[in-house]
Amino acid sequence: MQFDHKAVGIGEVVVEELADIARRRGDQPAQLDSKTWEDACHERRLTGLCLSGGGIRSATFGLGVLQALVKHQILQKTDYLSSVSGGGYIASWLQGVLLRYRGFDVLTRIVPGPSSSDPVTFLRKYSNYLAPRTGFSLDSIVIPIIWLRNTVLNHIIIYAVFAALFSLLIWPGYGLRVQAENGGGVGSWIEIVVAAIAGGFAVVEIGSNLKRTESRTFDADDTRAYKPGTGTENVALRVTAPLVAGVVLLMLSAVARQPSGLFLPCVAFAILGILHALLQWRGGFVTCYGRRHARSWLARLVYLQVLWMSLSCAGFVLLLFIGIQRLLLSWDPQETAGSQCVVAFGPPLYLLSIMAGVALQIGLMGIDFPDASREWLARAGALFVIVIGFWATLFAVAIFAPIGVAWVWHKSGSLLLSAAGTWISTTAATVLAGNSRRTADASQPAGKSKILEIIAKYGPFVAVPGFLVAVASLVQAALFLPSFLRGSPPQEFLTKYWERLEFIQPGSVGYAVAFTAAAIIVAAVFSLRVNINEFSLHYFYKNRLVRCYLGASHTELRKPDSFTGFDPLDDILLRDLRCDAPRISPGAPYPLLNACLNVTTGSELATQERKGLSFTFSPRFCGFVPFVSEADETAGANIRTNAFVDTAEFLAGIHLGTALSISGAALSPNRGFHSSPQTAFLLTLFNARLGWWAGNPRNPQTWMRPGPLFALRWLFLELFGAVDQRSAYLNLSDGGHFDNLGLYELVRRRCRYVIAVDAEEDPRYIFESLGEAVRKCRADFGVEIRIDIDRIRPVDGRSRTHYVVGRIEYPEPGSEPGWLLYLKSSITGDEPADVVEYFRENAAFPQQSTLNQFFSESEFESYRRLGLHVGLSAFQRLSGIVTDRWFERLAAEVKEC
């Protein structure tokens, strides 16, 4: 069934949410204008509850707070329930209970029932939700088995791609040697012509961009005449790529022909002169010169200026070309070793000489060339430097690094084994450090956090090159396999390998072709069959979360598989939680499950630190508020500026379990403000991926698809940490990678009263989640949140209070300020005896590591009871509707603590 793509903006989304909230309140939904949705939110004096991330710790603490809220009739009057990660566990559990039990009575039971009829007892039963049966059990053993199976399948794609790449990089040197042996022939002239055309095309493109810059410089008042130049991707495609292709073809022709006369240098001089003159003319030099010297006789000499400057630069570049050619010929391209060196280092040298010629031309043009144009060329030069470095590094890894490995193995096998052991240990340490939330986390002990940060920051520079060199070495070993099988003498083998670099033996060309083709075919087939979402760790994680937190409310009808313990019907369609759904419980708060849309690349400078956007799942709509730029507005039919779509159709009908597990996908190569391209490579390589690739709500072709059909591109985007908000598919991960408190979306919706439950891992009481949320709300919404958390910060191991009250100052004229009640998992000394005893036995309580997702019965009950105690202490004088007066009285009491 096909659906029309109708993406809407945040205004339409909130209007529909307010209609659901009106039905929950028992009111008739009003007709609202999506353009004035902020005013509508203020008028309804909305109450919101947010549950922070923190894994099973925050889920269990949140359970106790929810029980306190129900006891004081507050949850029944709450409009929004915003949750993140572990908070989403218990928020989803609550939605399942309210949907299937149609009431809040389950949360107020004093005497627990059996797990078959009591959702709270069911949670206790599955407190070790990842492996309910601990020790040497099937539940425990299946964890590494699933990880190993999925990792190997993903490795086949990654290794096949790199094997194909490294084997393909050997062929240019082989082809150059064959061409050099044949003396070039007609093909070399074709290469010169194509190189000239490619260079001319690139120069015209450069000139077109500089012409716009020149127009802006001299016609600043005529804004209609100005159109911004093309972006980085277009410059790379239309300038860098043609020039690189032209340089490679020019090099092949020059080296293969080995000219000794003056004809070819004269042709090259003419072509270079024309290109430099074209750059001056199209780049706006003639106009700039004419305007600056309009009243001088020098204006009549403009074309003479172009002539001598162009010829001078052409002569300079030609001399460099001749010197480079002689250097390359000295390497003897008719031998395999020489041809490989020429291909590896020739193009970078030629590109550097062209850059030198352009730099000379800029200097000769002097003040008659606009500064803005010089800036453009400098940025283009930086792009060429990246290409030069990438080219040289790639060939160095593919061609020469394995030779060093073989030499070390030949001289000292033990030294190579030691190096391999160091590499393996460094890689393991980097993966663990890169995935640890303690990395760069101010809430952690300074020494440990600093060590982990150093490992995560510098370890990849050992681990990643080591991986690439290992794959390249295996590729070369595979190409030499026929020589091994034929029993070639060791000395002959070493000579061919170390001195001649004959990776492709004269009698093994067919085998080398077959090897390269096989690698490409394997990468393509496995990319088509091994789904990037199915064979991550997402489904392993999701299945166990659903069994624990949604299976708890499915007890009476639950029929799990007798072997696995899973029941597919535990899950719930997210659209079934709409307030007009036939089975939804009256009074159920409208759920918002928050995830992070990772944005590690793109032109949005505002995201370069946070590296993410807020992505929301709700019963009505799923999507995000994008940063809209001119690139979006001119992208045409493939992108939309609105980014919310109907939940019933998004990802072919998303389930609550999927949204819940995406919101809690803490283990991910791209992790919002924690993202690092270096660690992303290793985390992807070791399949540390709980996140999800979802169809972009802004894209009419992909928004309904649950994920990419072909894994290769998206796996490598994740591998290199290059994800954005405009691609056909979006990389989503734990909401805590953007806002770990869940406060951001409630403030966006202008909630008058907000109750924030913070159970993050925060042993030093830095309040990182609160600080990040306050900072983002100010920067994005102009909302100022004033709150003093000093009374929660422990003194001698005890806090003075579990909660504080703050004010939310909204920017809309005439709007009343909101209230924020902030609850923190903390110890004051007035807790129940069993909680105090557990605290004395476990010094880290209640800030134990989020990595611990295996709770014992005592641990589960201690966190639940602490949450209940904190909630009861805050709400003891309140029953029913939250009011300004109650917040004022509570704030006064806190000040007396």
pLDDT digits (tens, 9 = 90+) for 714-757: 999 888 888 888 889 999 999 999 999 999 999 999 999 999 99
| Mean pLDDT, rounded, for 841-863 | 87
Is the pLDDT at 46 greater than 80, yes or no? yes
Helix (H/G/I), strand (E/B), else coil: 584: coil
pLDDT at 831: 92
Interval 814-839: pLDDT, tens: 889 999 999 999 999 999 999 999 99
3-state secondary structure 444-498: CCHHHHHHHHHHHHHCHHHHHHHHHHHHHHHHHHHHCHHHHHHCCCHHHHHHHHH
State the Rg of the chain over Cα. 33
What average pLDDT does this structure show over 120-148? Answer: 86
Domain ranges of the chain: 10-44+86-125+536-737, 171-399, 743-895
Mean pLDDT for all residues in the chain? 84
Between 243 and 623, the higher pLDDT residue: 623
Please state at what angle helix 460-479 crosses helix 677-685, rounded to 10 degrees.
50
Rounded to whole angstroms, the Cα distance separating 497 from 480 reads 9
Q: Are 156 and 541 in contact (CB under 8 A)?
A: no
Residue 226 has a pLDDT of 41
Q: Which range is least confidently modeled, 14-23, 448-457, 855-864?
A: 448-457
More confident residue, 289 or 669: 669
What is the distance between the alpha carbons of residues 396 and 288, in angstroms, rounded to a whole number? 44
DSSP string of 161-223, one letter each residue: HHHHHHHHTTHHHHHHHHHHHTT-THHHHHHHHHHHHHHHHHHHHHHHHHHHHHHHHH-TT-G
Q: Check residues 376 and 183 and name the one with the higher pLDDT.
A: 376
**Nearest of 308, 345, 306 to residue 327 by alpha carbon:** 345
Output helix, strand, coil percentages for the chain, rounded to the nearest 5: 60, 10, 30
Mean of the pLDDT values across residues 189-204?
Answer: 82
User: Burial level of 77, CB count in 10 A (0-12/13-18/19+)?
Assistant: middle
Q: What is the predicted pLDDT for the residue at 448? A: 59
User: Percent of the chain having pLDDT more than 90?
Assistant: 41
- Mean of the pLDDT values across residues 690-713? 91
The 10s digit of each residue's pLDDT in 61-108 is 999 999 999 998 899 889 999 999 999 999 999 999 999 887 888 888
The pLDDT value given to residue 149: 95
The highest-confidence range among 605-609, 625-629, 704-708, by mean pLDDT, is 704-708
Six token digits for residue 195: 């190189």
Q: What angle do CA 286, 292, 294 make, to 5 degrees?
A: 90
Mean pLDDT computed over 399-408: 83
Q: Are 282 and 210 in contact (CB under 8 A)?
A: yes
Instruction: Look at residue 795 and give its three-state secondary structure.
Output: strand
Q: Which uninterrupted H or E stretch holds 416?
A: helix 413-435
